[in-house]
């Protein structure tokens, strides 16, 4: 029984650290406008999309799109590359927080699954 308590304590600490590390990412993706922008990015190819194209697809103004993209970029949700004077925004596994978010959600899911199994006994 002691082993389970230690395992639970370790998992709880990992979840707390995960929340701390992903806090700004969760805040950034919690906004409906940014969710809309993320949907557009998911529909575009991986080479990236420019602010003007996102504005057209979302029916938002360019300044609004730029503002929200900056928040997403600072939170580690969206990556950007420059090509001359043009900025292209895209989603990337290596350059963003998506893996950390997925790991945290999976850790929480596993914890809930363990709790549920214990309750069923």
Residues 49-70, buried b or exposed e (16+ Cβ, 10 A)? bbbeebbebbebeeeebeebbe
Q: How far apart are CA 104 and CA 106, in angstroms?
A: 5
- The pLDDT confidence band at residue 3, using thresholds 50, 70 and 90, is low
CATH topology of domain 2-115: Arc Repressor Mutant, subunit A (1.10.10)
pLDDT at position 4: 74
pLDDT at position 99: 94
> Which H helix or E strand runs over 18?
helix 2-29
Q: Where are the chain's structural domains?
A: 2-115
Up-side HSE of residue 3: CA atoms within 13 Å toward CB?
0
Q: How far apart are CA 66 and CA 33, in angstroms?
A: 12
List, for residues 67-106, the tens digit of each pLDDT value: 999 999 999 999 999 999 999 999 988 889 999 999 999 9
- The pLDDT confidence band at residue 7, using thresholds 50, 70 and 90, is confident
């Amino acid at each position: 029984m002691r082993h389970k308590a230690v395992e639970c304590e370790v998992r709880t600490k990992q979840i707390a650290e995960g929340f701390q590390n992903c806090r700004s990412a969760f805040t950034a993706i919690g906004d409906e406008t940014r969710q809309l922008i993320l949907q557009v990015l998911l529909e575009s190819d991986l080479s990236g999309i420019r602010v003007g194209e996102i504005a057209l697809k979302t029916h938002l103004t360019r300044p609004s799109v730029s503002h929200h993209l900056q928040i997403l970029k600072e939170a580690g949700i969206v990556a950007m590359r420059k090509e001359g004077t043009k900025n292209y925004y895209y989603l990337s596994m290596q350059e963003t927080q998506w893996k950390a978010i997925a790991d945290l959600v999976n850790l929480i899911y596993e914890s809930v699954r363990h709790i549920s199994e214990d309750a069923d006994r």
